[in-house]
Amino acid sequence: MMIFRAVILGTIILFSGAAIAVNEDLAPESATGIQPGQQLQAQQQLVVSAHPLATAAGYEVLQQGGSAADAAVAIQAMLTLVEPQSSGIGGGAFMLYWDNSKQQLKAYDGRETAPASADENLFMQQDGKPMSWWDAMVGGRSVGTPGVLALLELSQQQHGKLAWSTLFNSTIEQATQGFSVSPRLHQLISSKLNPGLGRYPSARNYFFTPSGHAIPVGHLLKNQQLANSMKLIANNGSEAFYRGPLAQQIIAAVAAAKDNPGKLALTDLANYKAIERQAICQPFREYRVCGFPPPTSGGVTTLQIIKLLERFQLEQLAPESVELNHLFTQAARLAYADRARYLADSDFVDVPVQALLQQNYIKQRSQLIDPAKDMAKAIPGEVSPLLSRADDRSPELPSTSHFVVVDQWGDAVSITSSIEMAFGSTLMAGGFLLNNQLTDFSFIAEQDGKPIANRVQPGKRPRSSMSPFMIFDQQDKLVAAMGSPGGSRIINYVAKSLLLSMTSDLSLQQIFALPHIVNRNGTTELEQGTKAEELSPALQAIGHEIKVRDLNSGLHGFEKVEGAWHSAVDPRREGAAMGD
């Protein structure tokens, strides 16, 4: 067995302020240090996740003869315990699953849904103005119907090899015995990035000491409630969650938030369904690149970015050069402009996916890129005279996790999972945090008489930026899988990694460690404390408005190199890889 366990090293970078006005400059999680990146080679099977204990749980399942789908259940269960700020069974997810024997790619949608009683006025006040984001986020109003468990059960029923009941053993044992609080978890609690953490008794008693301090590094944190929940789910399947005792606990927690009551009802849980969708794929050079369709914007927007740049000789440009990064920011501007206008839940609104990726449209938009000058704010393209839309301006601050698995049969998973803001709504039920994903909707339904695609509607899934991806070669063999947390910046992180993996000689591990340069059709952001800062004068000289800031990705992935699977772990978090 080959094993790499990550340890956070280096200087802790503290969250810099306590500003209350939310905007998309805020990182979903504060930076917590840099670890040295290492690469693991595996011949048969591999797990890469955001926490060593979650990686170990998934790898143990693979060693027992489990599939990638089995391992995904074990990993997500453990992440619910050890990385509660980022994801868990109280949230949602998108999964790409490669069935190697059938040569078939599946896309499983476990995104949260709005309650049946919710409408476009969910976040509107009596004076006709939208609530502040902070007021909307904490409490019951922002909680959507969780979808992670339904997704995991659906995929495991189709692709699993082990009994469902065995996949939660590691988490049940760890929750009962306790796990050591990491520097990262301690820092995220103490940073007060989510000022609502501690407002309600369950989370306050779990994450803080009796004196009100964040639980210290090394503290043995036990969670018997979660162990009991996992036992119920192990024995009774998702039925225990969506129609059984856990459903009662979830609704009780939402109802108890009297300061910000929610609309989630037992019927919303009972009626929830994970959806199997069609992955969206595009050719790029000699590869086929596949992502997730709406309701996430990640697949379409990421594919637009790389297709807009296909005509340029990127192989001749250094990955950290001004030239390459300028081109990347321009493609990102154009893609994010389209994202704001057109992308939402395609079950509720017309989303012109094919038109946005159509070859002539991409060619036309790509001609707007000037290699020597920043275009400033891009405007959306015209894809159909029938689509008269206003641009969405909803903030998106997911606290998210990404993991990948490949098993001994060559089946693979790339899954991004989230509860939205760090620590979600801060409400707990059954030992796990509940999401605040409904704040990913636009708080207003229309602008200047034009509807906003991502407005609140009953049963609708809020737009996301989660971007699980896979790359295939000309023989349709899987050669890479990746994804990242990071709010609306996820698209930048993943698009850049995909591009470089297909146009440079760098390993995926080296690519994940590169400094970030990000643009979401506004300011060009350079990663603080890295060589990216050195590009500032040259970028400013060609028109870029620059901001230097923490860019806290959490990229996890693998690639096929000379017949072996090579792991890639983002050095900005505490991820780990295991394989053989």
Residues designated catalytic: 400
**Which residues are CB-neighbours of 222 under 8 A, at least 6 positions away?**
175, 176, 177, 178
| CA proximity to 496, closest of 477, 523, 515 | 515
Q: In what order do the strands lie in the sheet containing 92-99?
A: 2-4, 576-579, 46-49, 399-406, 412-420, 92-99, 104-110, 275-277
44 SS3 class: coil
> With contact defined as beta carbons under 8 Å apart, do 85 and 29 qualify?
yes
> With contact defined as beta carbons under 8 Å apart, do 402 and 556 qualify?
yes
| CA proximity to 277, closest of 257, 292, 259 | 292
> With contact defined as beta carbons under 8 Å apart, do 116 and 109 qualify?
no
**Which residues are CB-neighbours of 100 under 8 A, at least 6 positions away?**
409, 410, 411, 412, 478
CA distances to 149, 409, 473 from 102, rounded to whole Å, are: 25, 11, 16
273 SS3 class: coil
| CA proximity to 554, closest of 35, 182, 77 | 35
Other beta carbons within 10 Å of 457: 20
Amino acid at 142: S
Amino acid at 564: A
348 SS3 class: coil
